């Protein structure tokens, strides 16, 4: 295996175990490894890749795929993606099998009842944080709240809501310019 692929594995496998949430937790360390330690790219090249990953749909940690592709082509992209997703996937898989084996058990119903209010709190809190850090000021907050109301009250396809939000901002931008 070429040196660069081994290095990608050695960097991203350990990082996969400290990835929590949407993958934003490891961005700073990925930056340090890729720019400062390995000198694979400049800070501004890294920022470009980061911007593309923010713009693209799908899991946020696909930033790692882009880095792999940049330094090792197709093989690099495959190895980097594998390194960031596979190790923790195996772990989650085993926990899921154990959970399923005891489905309906009393302890599981207790855990589910206990986790529900905590999950509600975390979801609402992350929305709260996002609402405050949103680019686009009050129009963005209006779009978020109107989207919420429509999604709560109707079974609309979310893609329509996303497109409408995008269209609203493109229109705003066109008129402001």
Does 69 sit near another protein (CB under 8 A)? yes
Which of 23, 30, 71, 83 is in the footprint of another protein by CB under 8 A?
23
CA dist 103 → 5, 93, 99, 116, 155 (Å): 41, 15, 6, 17, 30
With contacts defined by CB under 8 A, name the span among 5-13, 28-36, 125-133 that binds another protein. Answer: 125-133
Residue 14 binds to another protein (criterion: CB under 8 A): no
End-to-end CA distance of the chain: give it in Å, rounded: 52
Q: According to the binding rule CB under 8 A, does residue 105 interact with another protein?
A: no
CA dihedral 168, 138, 21, 86 (to 10 degrees): 20
Tell which one of 5, 51, 71, 75 touches another protein (CB under 8 A): 51
Q: Does 98 contact another protein by CB under 8 A?
A: no
Instruction: Rule CB under 8 A: choose which of 9, 13, 38, 147 binds another protein.
Output: 147
| Contacts (Cβ under 8 Å, ≥6 apart) of 65 | 77, 80, 81
Q: Under the criterion CB under 8 A, does residue 104 sit at the interface with another protein?
A: no
Answer yes or no: are the C-beta atoms of 165 and 150 closer than 8 Å: no
**# residues contacting another protein (CB under 8 A):** 98
- According to the binding rule CB under 8 A, does residue 42 interact with another protein? no
């Amino acid at each position: 295996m070429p040196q660069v692929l081994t290095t990608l594995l050695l960097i991203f496998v350990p990082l996969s175990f400290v990835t929590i949430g949407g993958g934003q937790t490891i961005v700073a360390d990925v930056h340090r490894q890729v720019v400062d330690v390995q000198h694979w790219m400049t800070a501004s090249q890294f920022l470009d890749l980061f911007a593309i990953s923010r713009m693209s749909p799908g899991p946020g940690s696909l930033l790692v795929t882009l880095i792999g592709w940049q330094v090792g082509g197709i093989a690099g992209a495959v190895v980097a993606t594998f390194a960031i997703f596979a190790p923790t996937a195996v772990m989650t898989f085993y926990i899921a099998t154990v959970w399923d084996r005891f489905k309906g058990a009393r302890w599981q119903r207790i855990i589910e009842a206990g986790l529900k209010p905590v999950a509600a709190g975390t979801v609402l809190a992350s929305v709260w944080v996002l609402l405050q850090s949103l680019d686009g000021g009050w129009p963005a907050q209006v779009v978020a709240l109107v989207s919420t109301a429509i999604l709560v009250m109707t079974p609309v396809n979310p893609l329509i809501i996303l497109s409408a939000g995008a269209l609203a901002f493109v229109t705003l931008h066109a008129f402001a310019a």
